[in-house]
A = this chain, B = another copy of it.
Amino acid sequence: MTTVAADPKTVLEQYDAVRSYTETLAAPLSHEDQTAQSMADVSPTKWHRAHVTWFFETFVLADHEAGFAPFQDTYWFLFNSYYESLGPRYARPERGVITRPGAHDVGVYRRNVDDRLRDLVAGLDDGTLHKLRPTLELGFHHEQQHQELLLMDIKHVLSRNPLQPAYAGEPRPRCEPDELGWVDVEGGLVEVGHDGDGFAFDNEQPRHRQWLEPYRIADRLVTNAEWLEFMADGGYERHELWLSDGWGRVRSEGWQAPLYWTQHDGTWFEHTLHGTWPVNPGLPVSHVSCYEADAYATWAGKRLPTEAEWEHAVVADGQADAVHSAGNLADRQSFHPAPASAAPAGGRIRQVYGDCWEWTSSAYLPYPGFHPPAGAIGEYNGKFMSDQMVLRGGCALTPPGHARATYRNFFPHGARWALTGVRLADGGAPTAGHRDTAVAG
């Protein structure tokens, strides 16, 4: 879904593909499943289905449909997520109280907007379509983001149920970790950020220069087996491994393992979208916070990569585009990270896009020269640039074609319900030698 086509027919095929994938993801869920909200960060499935529809109604139909009127005035209020410019909105932590419209009614709303949008696009002249393309494109990518969130959120909802329900699919067979390798990267004055060809969110731009000392990056993610070693070595009991706020969370929330792990009779089990199963040693560890990722790296004598190091290494490795890791993506129907395939002879970076969003050591801040677009659309990314950390890559729940090397995902330090994992880095320190270098400026 990197670029929206130029002709109405292809645009509408792309639209239908995105829209129907949302409904496919919701299909295994009962009306009750689609209604519940298990914490403020989580939204009900039917809210996701309605909100992405509201996005097209608000940002496409409202401006371009002749004689536009909202499908329902109240939906305008109910399904606005966080756009202050569009007026008051229903309180986020209360989304689970909204039983009507029900899941069925949301389907009616979706079809209504689909019909109207198809009518609109089919009748557009080339110039208007060209003007509308960026908004349509944003709507497609926006809906893909919510497809991923829908799965993360329902995973959390189901995890709170003592019946241990499953969403769909089968767990991966037990596997052992493949050996960890390291990829050396030279660094220097590199460029990071999106160059503007094809779709990218505003926060990936502008492309700009950054200086990197030589470093190396792990060729696969940290595994459950390795995480069990960390735990066995007192990882959750040794304050010296932790950031102060992270240690505070360990104590106040009783963290002893990743979010969805529970121990029965000495064995660790993991809640997944496929039900609850023994922790699989060869899979990447998932649902750890940035505090945990950082503590693990400290314990391992390593560190997390910066977002620039991550992006530069992946691009240099020829994986700028998510389509390159199709192996994992095709496998996505299992909704769980896959084991690292055997390391290729050339030493390439594995598990880049289809397994876990990877915590970096970079705070989510604007790139030099960043300016959000004007209007409500400008609230999309920029206003969240405080107290969050950047994650790179993609995960087993990311829709096909949604990820790329410059993509900047972000969550707070303590978030655990997203499908997050850990890749280590090393090196990157200034060498003694550079002190003699003449400094510009």
Contact = CB atoms under 8 A, between A and B. Distances in A.
Interface string A311-336: 01000100000000000000000000
A369 B161 contact: no
A103 B30 CA distance: 10
A189 B439 contact: yes
A168 interface: no
Contact of A161 (B31, B82, B97, B212): B97
Contacts of A34: 32
Contact of A162 (B90, B162, B207, B312): B90
Interface stretch (A5-13, A120-128, A383-391): A383-391
A158 B35 CA distance: 14
A318 B291 CA distance: 39
A213 B212 CA distance: 15
Contacts of A242: 383
Contact of A30 (B97, B102, B210): B102
A246 B386 CA distance: 9
A97 to B, nearest CB: 5
Contact of A36 (B74, B99, B161): B99
Q: 3 smallest A-B Cβ distances: which pairs?
A: A369-B429, A188-B440, A363-B363
A85 interface: yes
A84 B240 contact: yes
Nearest to A164: B74
A90 B160 CA distance: 10
A357 B2 CA distance: 45
Contacts of A225: none
Interface in A102-156: 102-103
A402 to B, nearest CB: 23
A163 B74 contact: yes
Given A162-B74, A430-B368, A38 B209 contact: no
Contacts of A37: 96-97
A98 B161 contact: yes
Interface in A141-196: 157-158, 160-163, 165, 185-191, 195
A93 to B, nearest CB: 12
A209 B434 CA distance: 8
Contacts of A158: 99
B361 A363 contact: no
Interface in A243-273: 243-247
Contacts of A430: 206-209, 368-369
Given A84-B247, A368-B430, A386-B291, A36 B96 contact: yes
A434 B210 CA distance: 12
A413 B387 contact: yes
Contact of A99 (B82, B157, B187, B368): B157
Contacts of A227: none
A437 interface: yes
B440 A368 contact: no
Interface in A357-398: 361-363, 365-366, 368-369, 378, 383-387
A290 B387 CA distance: 12
A436 to B, nearest CB: 11
Interface in A1-31: 30-31
Contacts of A189: 189, 211, 437, 439-441
